[in-house]
Amino acid sequence: MSGTKTRDPGKTLAVTLPVSGEQILVEVRRKKMKLCRLKVYPDRRVTLSLPYRVSFSWAEAFLEEKRGWIEEKLAAFPVPELQQPEQEWKDGSTVQFLGTGRILTVRKASRPAAAEEGGGRIMIDTPSPESPEAVERLYETWLRREALRIFEERTACWQRILASYGVPLPQIRVRKMKTLWGSCSVGRRTVTFNLYLIKAPMDCVDYVVLHELVHFLHPDHSKAFYGCLSRFMPDHRERKARLDRENRLPR
């Protein structure tokens, strides 16, 4: 019926913060009001309420102008710490690998070794099965080897898709990082992935891989960059949000 206001389902818009480069999602809804209202909450939610007459295209332009203000407000709130149980390094302990739990099977053996076995188990052979430090060292050696293999495979897969656009096959490195899931050096043709990324599900790993490869076409986080990312991975915003929500980087 003409003039009747139906309940607005809302929309989610992505905003890239100008300093950190973090991408956040803003919940946008129309309401019976005269002025727009932008709110930033301590739990890092951001909402934008609009009068019915205001379009989503206006909201996009408005949020682009307010990126710096949003980042300032977020920075003023303390970042909540996730209370995670301390990792144990002994027979029967569970570790995260590609989004699923794997069980450590620790055996006493003269030669140290680590390998994945069937049934979601990772076998650790060590002369010192009672030593958490020895078990952790062997597991991390295995983890780095597997992470490099998987990151190289996924990078090669996505690079074949982007090769016609001039994206090279970069050299892959793996190291622990506190603030980034990945980084790209266009000049050196190298991509570095965070070791902790291998704990995340494969679709989140693919998001980071594609994100870094697109930097060979667009070195910054411009609209062109995100337009290219959306072309090859339309749900990249959802993958990014899930990655950051479920796989908090250690501090």
pLDDT at 250: 62
**pLDDT greater than 70 at residue 81:** no
Tell me which DSSP letter residue 54 carries: S
Rg (C-alpha) for the chain, rounded Å, is 22
**pLDDT greater than 70 at residue 99:** yes
Task: Count other C-beta atoms under 10 Å from residue 139's C-beta.
Answer: 20
Tokens 């050696």 correspond to: 141
91 to 121, 162, 189, 195: CA distances (angstroms): 11, 43, 41, 23
How far is Cα 33 from Cα 185, in angstroms, rounded to an integer?
Answer: 48
pLDDT at 94: 95
How far is Cα 152 from Cα 172, in angstroms, rounded to an integer?
Answer: 6
pLDDT at 17: 83
114 in Cβ contact with 92 (< 8 Å): no
111 to 114, 146, 200: CA distances (angstroms): 10, 20, 30
In this prediction, residue 1 has a pLDDT band, given cuts at 50, 70 and 90, of very low
Least confident of 47-61, 64-78, 99-113, 130-144: 64-78
**pLDDT greater than 70 at residue 251:** no
Pair type for strands 182-185 and 46-51: unpaired
How far is Cα 22 from Cα 68, in angstroms, rounded to an integer?
Answer: 12
**pLDDT greater than 90 at residue 80:** no
Please list the residues that pair with 80 across neighbouring strands: none
pLDDT at 126: 97
**Mean of per-residue pLDDT scores for the chain:** 88
Per-residue pLDDT averaged across 28-46, rounded?
Answer: 89
pLDDT at 75: 79
User: CB within 8 A of 53, min separation 6: which ones?
Assistant: none
**pLDDT greater than 60 at residue 3:** no
pLDDT at 76: 80
Least confident of 7-16, 49-58, 91-100, 183-192: 7-16
